[in-house]
Structure 1
Amino acid sequence: MPTAVEPRGTAALLVNQRGEYLLHLRDAHKKICDPGTWSVPGGAREGTETLDEAIARELKEETGLTIADLCRFTVVECTGPDGITKGHIQVYLGHWDGDASALPVTEGIMFHHFAASSTEQLTMSPWAADVIAQHQAHTAVHRLSAAPTAAAPAPGGQTVLNVIGVHLYLERDGTVLLGLRHPDSAYAGSTHHFLAGHCEQESAVACLIREAREEAGLRIEADDVEFVHAVHLIDEPGTQPRLQMVFRARRWEGRPEVREPDKCVSWDWWPVGALPEPVVPYTRAAIEGIRAGRLYTEMGWT
């Protein structure tokens, strides 16, 4: 799910020339997120640190490394031992070809390089597995095309990948389906929003169908889905751009029900001309665009 504010967490996906990922085996007997799993190095911001400063410090503390080519790659949700989302993590991408066994182990158990195919056999942190899947998909796209994909230039010559969000627009008798976010949600607490999610290693329509089932118990067929709007936005200069794609389902099966109560507390139908307050700003902008027959909106760009 997109984040309204900068994430507190950071992580670094480091890849060597063979395409292997540097993974960190986490402590199994500590009250931490994803204990006993393989993950990637990183940690939370401290004080007034920026995300860039935090990941540089965490890498130095955990691995002794300074990686010069780090760039922002994606944002993922972190789930705690109780299965509840604890927050979001800004993941960076970089390259390192050293000996993992020679790294100092100041936290956790060990470091090791793994090929992507090997990670399927590991007990992986769910969000770290998601990051590797995203990187594999991104790499596959680049193999097929020499053109850069979904990227925007950033200060200092870095490349910032755009996060792709997928959203469901359901309309019934002049009303639209919106969910009320949980007050403790890391994103848009106590605010109304579309049913939505991040694309994983799947098409946008496949993501929409999966999220509709997981979040609200709705069954949607791909042939009943049509694209109706996109919002390309940035929260503020220097933050990660996001492309929010909105699809309408002409038909569906089931009644909306709360399937993820830690994220959403209710699903309700609201008149499209009298939306509730508060609503996520780009959700409102998308609905207004759909009603006006527009396919595209920009927000936050200067």
Structure 2
Amino acid sequence: MPPTRSHIRQAVDAYLDRHPQERDALDGLLAALDGPADPCSRATLPGHITCSAAIIDRDRRVLHIGHRATGLLLTPGGHIEADDHTLLAAALREVREETGIRSGDLCLTPLLDAPIDVDVHDIDARHHRGEPEHRHFDLRFVFYLAHKTPELVLQDEEVSGAQWRPFDEVSSPTLRAKLLEAGLDGRIEPVNASALIFDDAGRYLLHLRDNYPDIWEPGAFALLGGGREPGDRSLEATLRRELAEEVPGLHLSDLKPFAVEEATGIDGIRVPIQIFAGRWNGDPDALTLNEGILLRWFPREMLHRLPLSPSTADLLHRHADQRTPANGPSSSARPVREEAPGGTELHVVGVHLYVEDGRGRLLLGLRHPDSAYAGNLWHFLAGHCERESAVSCLVREAEEEAGLIIDPADVEFVHAVHLVDSPGARPRIQLVFRARAWSGAPRVLEPDRCVEWRWWQPKDLPAELVAYTRTAIEGILAGRLYSEMGWQ
């Protein structure tokens, strides 16, 4: 079934909200939406809708293909087919047919599923097909590559070649202007937000979704949440809006970022999701549920009996593994197996990035004044190991916090600080790794933790620097691999 008029009008309205000055130029498109004929049919005249895709790689380049019929270098696209249930699906199908890039190789950008550009262009008559001169109203969607650039498999009968072009060389003037204006950089960032809700008894609040084929994860238990909308100021605002819409009366006073997960949307496209964790001790039966079947608390040992996606199950088990006794012991929670010999002190493992620019300067971040640790102090890009290797943690934190893409093969260990902050505190092992190469420019992606990234000359480090960070830098510059602090 092709896209409905209401679906198309919603996309066009979202576009015109951003570009109201183009309303007159789109009179023909709006007339087609109000007319009796199918606006997506190539038989509809004097014009009909087509869809195309601007695919951006991590070097801020856009994929162009050579169309044999016109001799032009354009972004992938074409007519909408009967099986394309959405405009986005039509664009994705054209990309797959013309270039071999699958939906799973792509993810949404911060523009979400609204077109970045609508181009109106004339098509010459094709008498051999019985097609008179007409117009295309081309809705152009923009995607990021989810991972590295895939190998292209070009549709030989229609495509003569392919090029990746920087933004300022994009063939379409209107698309070029929109891309430059939007500030898209090819770096994946979450566009959905979900709530991992737990109580003091060690249970998790799960939502049973409707068993409809056209929704995400039909018939499965899932976390509450949804997709970002243009008016949402942040992903936390997205989540709070979704909770108010889905379950009015469910108020979470404290939401904390827990993880970024990657799911597959109904069109097969990758969807990065910011997971927030929040504590709530209420009765779900007292709430009004506007979407889905039911809300229930489930202890950890029952999770394997539920229809859960593997990624959701993994998230819940990871959270349960990380909960401390301060969160409240639970008779129903699965006991954590103690593998350390008696008398062993468990340590917290921190991972830190040591990276230099071409001028020998070090990258440091200024911690948010309200940060639970080191507020208003400069510090390495850093994070705590979850259930992952130290290098995997480093690569993940670099992308999540600053948008830096690091290949694990380009990482080397350079220093460790064995630290205890105060008597009785849990000891910490702070591992520092150097990235010999990376891509991207540092950006503030977690402003609640870091408010600025800056490059510093080693001889001019700021006075307001985390103490063990200074110790580690001094050790690295001196060629030492190990330091101790706080053990006296």
TM-score by length of 1: 0.57
Match of 1:225 in 2: 411
- CA distance in 2 between partners of 1:259 and 1:228 (Å): 26
SS of the aligned residue for 1:243 comes to strand
- CA distance in 2 between partners of 1:266 and 1:209 (Å): 19
Aligned residues: 210
Q: Deviation of residue 119 (structure 1)? A: 8.5
Gap runs ≥5 in structure 1: 1-10, 15-21, 36-76, 90-105, 143-147, 154-158
In the alignment, which of 281, 299, 322 is matched to residue 112 of structure 1?
299
In the alignment, which of 187, 192, 199 is matched to residue 378 of structure 2?
192
Match of 1:166 in 2: 351
SS of the aligned residue for 1:230 comes to strand
- CA distance in 2 between partners of 1:126 and 1:187 (Å): 28
Tell me: CA distance 1:113–1:127, structure 2 relative to 1, closer, same or farther (3 Å). closer
Match of 1:260 in 2: 446
Q: Deviations over 1:221-272 (max 9, x none)?
A: 1111000001111111111111110000011111111111111111100011
- 1:1-302 pair list within 5 angstroms: 22-23=202-203, 25=205, 29-33=249-253, 112-114=299-301, 117=304, 121=308, 129-133=317-321, 142=339, 148=340, 153=343, 160-172=345-357, 173-302=359-488
Contact 1:116–1:132, Cα closer than 8 Å, also in 2: no
- CA distance in 2 between partners of 1:217 and 1:111 (Å): 36
Q: Deviation of residue 195 (structure 1)? A: 0.4
Look at both structures and tell me which one has the larger radius of gyration over its CA atoms.
Answer: 2
- CA distance in 2 between partners of 1:235 and 1:186 (Å): 14
Q: Which runs of 4+ in 1 moved over 4 A?
A: 11-14, 83-87, 106-111, 115-120, 122-129, 139-142
- CA distance in 2 between partners of 1:274 and 1:115 (Å): 56
- CA distance in 2 between partners of 1:294 and 1:133 (Å): 35
Q: Deviations over 1:70-114 (max 9, x none)?
A: xxxxxxx667xxx89999x9xxxxxxxxxxxxxxxx855656352
SS of the aligned residue for 1:171 comes to coil
Q: Which is bigger in relative contact order (C-alpha 8 A, separation at least 6)?
A: 1
Letter in 1 for 2:320: I
- CA distance in 2 between partners of 1:84 and 1:31 (Å): 17
Gap runs ≥5 in structure 2: 1-197, 207-246, 259-273, 285-296, 324-335
Letter in 1 for 2:251: K
Q: Deviation of residue 277 (structure 1)? A: 2.3
Contact 2:353–2:433, Cα closer than 8 Å, also in 1: yes
